[in-house]
Amino acid sequence: SSVHPDTDNIIPVLFRPPGSCLSFYIYTSFSLNLNFIFAYSLSFLQFLFHTYTTGFTLFNGNGTTKAEEYSVQQKQVFCGLGAISYAACIGVIPIFFMNRYTLKSPLTQLVVRKLLPAPLLGLMSAFTVAVVRSPEFENGIEVMDRNGKVVGVSQKAGEKAVKETALSRAALFGTAFSLPAVLMYFVERTNFAKTPRALASMRMMMITSVLAGMLPVSLSMFPQCGEIKRADLEPEILASTEETELFYNRGI
């Protein structure tokens, strides 16, 4: 987790998988306060959250992507800034409209504060991964045989790597937002926590526990050393090897 498998560069401490606990603090802060904060505060917290997760994606993606006409890293940074801003705006739009037009009915409160946040956060997390790592499926990534010998550069392998990473990121944050809400619903129904302070403490414990449990699940949904069948690759790679399965670094 400290050394990038493609470039052998040292990954900054905050952007290694163990350092992702930083996103937990940001995530927990807007999860706990979703019922109380204003739209601009929620937007700022989501901007911080997506900034960190985008940086994590940037440092842990496939490092073999190359392009002659521009710097891949520069394009990823610019695309990442756009994706962060877009994701933060999309995440706050339901709250903004609810406050702007004073939509305070119980049904609106249920949809905006309980049902929408989880799928929106999962979708936007997957979106930022796809945007930041777009050069991988545009230019391709290196694929190797069983002995580690590079046999070619494949756009299809890059597309598969980005898709799998986006799905794992959506599963991580979508589940981590929805499951604590479901558990808290049953806690409130049983009247187990009798004071607002006790409810807030239980909510924080549930969010932290689900995030901590989902992180290894998310990272292990797809192997980091991905496999792709030879028949699914480009014709020029088919002609260069007889291996039935080839391998690539999926990234995380």
Full-model pTM: 0.86
Would you say residue 35 has pLDDT above 60? no
Higher-confidence residue of 107 and 248: namely 248
Q: How confident is the model at residue 86 (pLDDT cuts 50, 70, 90)?
A: very high
Q: How confident is the model at residue 124 (pLDDT cuts 50, 70, 90)?
A: very high
Assess contact for 230 and 124: CB atoms under 8 A: no
C-alpha of 221 from chain center: 13
Domain assignments of the chain as residue spans, ordered by start:
13-249
Read off the pLDDT of each residue in 111-126 and give the average, rounded to a whole number: 84
Q: Which residue has the tokens 């932290």?
A: 208
Q: How many CA atoms lie within 13 A of 35 on its CB side?
A: 9
For position 133, what pLDDT does the model report?
93
Q: In what order do the strands lie in the sheet with 225-229?
A: 150-154, 141-144, 245-249, 225-229
CB burial readout 202-230, b (16+ within 10 A) else e: bbeebbbebbeebbeebbeebebebebeb
For position 31, what pLDDT does the model report?
61
3-state secondary structure the chain: CCECCCCCCECCHHHCHHHHHHHHHHHHHHHHCCCCCCHHHHHHHHHHHHHHHHHHHHHHCCCCCCCCCCCHHHHHHHHHHHHHHHHHHHHHHHHHHHHHCCCCCHHHHHHHHHHCHHHHHHHHHHHHHHHHCHHHHHHCEEEECCCCCEEEEEHHHHHHHHHHHHHHHHHHHHHHHHHHHHHHHHHHHHCCCCCHHHHHHHHHHHHHHHHHHHHHHHHHCCCCEEEEEHHHCCHHHHCCCCCCEEEEECCC
Higher-confidence residue of 90 and 188: namely 90
Q: pLDDT tens digits, residue range 140-187?
A: 999 999 888 899 899 999 999 999 999 999 998 888 878 887 887 787
Q: How confident is the model at residue 33 (pLDDT cuts 50, 70, 90)?
A: low
Rounded to 10 deg, the angle between the 39-60 and 117-132 helix axes is 40
Read off the pLDDT of each residue in 105-130 and give the average, rounded to a whole number: 83
Q: pLDDT tens digits, residue range 42-80?
A: 778 888 888 989 999 999 888 888 766 557 778 888 999
Would you say residue 200 has pLDDT above 90? no
Q: How confident is the model at residue 242 (pLDDT cuts 50, 70, 90)?
A: confident
Would you say residue 218 has pLDDT above 90? no
CA angle 89, 90, 93 (to 5 degrees): 85
CA–CA distance, 217 with 237 (Å, rounded to integer)? 33
For position 67, what pLDDT does the model report?
67
Q: pLDDT tens digits, residue range 88-109?
A: 888 888 777 777 766 677 777 7
Would you say residue 24 has pLDDT above 90? no
Read off the pLDDT of each residue in 198-207 and give the average, rounded to a whole number: 79
